[in-house]
């Protein structure tokens, strides 16, 4: 026997993704101007640059060579 699936395009579009992807994101995209979208995009980039800076500082801290030996005061 052959199985037949009646997959209508409108039924597939409702099933794919989530409520946020299908409803909220397109709604917000239409509400915001291009300038507003640009500001939010730049803020995401700056946030990631901050994370990168923290990681770079930590790598530099861990990469420093420790002093071999220690100072002893001789009287």
- Asked if residue 49 is part of any domain, the answer here is yes
**In this predicted model, what pLDDT tens digit does every residue of 21-46 receive, in sequence order?**
787 777 777 788 889 889 989 999 99
Q: How many domains does the chain have?
A: 1
DSSP code of residue 38 = H
The token pair at 36 is 């507003």
- Asked if residue 50 is part of any domain, the answer here is yes
- Asked if residue 56 is part of any domain, the answer here is yes
| Domain limits for position 43 | 33-64
72 or 29, greater pLDDT:
72
- What are the helix (H) ranges across 1-75? 9-15, 19, 25-31, 34-63
- Asked if residue 14 is part of any domain, the answer here is no
- In sequence order, what are the residues at sequence separation of 6 or more whose Cβ sits closer than 8 angstroms to the Cβ of residue 37? 29
- Asked if residue 70 is part of any domain, the answer here is no
pLDDT at 8 exceeding the cut of 50: no
pLDDT at 11 exceeding the cut of 50: no
pLDDT band with cut points at 50, 70 and 90 for residue 15: low
- Asked if residue 55 is part of any domain, the answer here is yes
The label of the residue with tokens 């409520």 reads 19
């Amino acid at each position: 026997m052959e199985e037949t699936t009646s997959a209508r395009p409108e039924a597939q579009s409702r099933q794919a993704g989530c409520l946020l992807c299908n409803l909220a994101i397109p709604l917000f995209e239409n509400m915001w101007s291009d300038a507003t979208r640009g500001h939010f995009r730049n803020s995401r980039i700056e946030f990631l640059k901050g994370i990168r800076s923290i990681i770079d500082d930590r790598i530099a801290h861990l990469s420093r060579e420790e002093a071999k030996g220690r100072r002893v005061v001789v009287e």
